[in-house]
Amino acid sequence: MELCTSIEQKPVIAAWGVNSSLRELATVALLKLPSCIIGLQGEESYHYYHPLPRGKRTPKKWLEEFVDKVKIVNKCDNL
């Protein structure tokens, strides 16, 4: 039960993909999740790149970009 009361203080990783068919579900998820969401955002507000992408991006590239983003977010939180 403690997890439920303190989840607002924890970041949530979003990585469900950027397919337009996810729009409705992703929008609902964003409304239900805490405001601290970390992910590699795509062109639309509900787009978050998946860690096992199809196409040109590789899982390794996703991970490198994600780690860089987390480092930047962490530095900003410490200011």
- Does pTM surpass 0.85? no
Q: Long-range CB contacts (< 8 A, 24+ apart) of 22-25?
A: 22/46
What are the tokens at 75? 């530095």
pLDDT digits (tens, 9 = 90+) for 14-67: 999 999 999 999 999 999 988 888 899 999 999 999 999 777 778 899 999 999
Distances from the Cα of 4 to the Cαs of 8, 9, 19, 34, in angstroms? 8, 10, 30, 11
Which residues, listed in sequence order, are joined to residue 66 by a DSSP beta bridge?
none
User: Nearest-CA neighbor of 24 among 35, 34, 32?
Assistant: 32
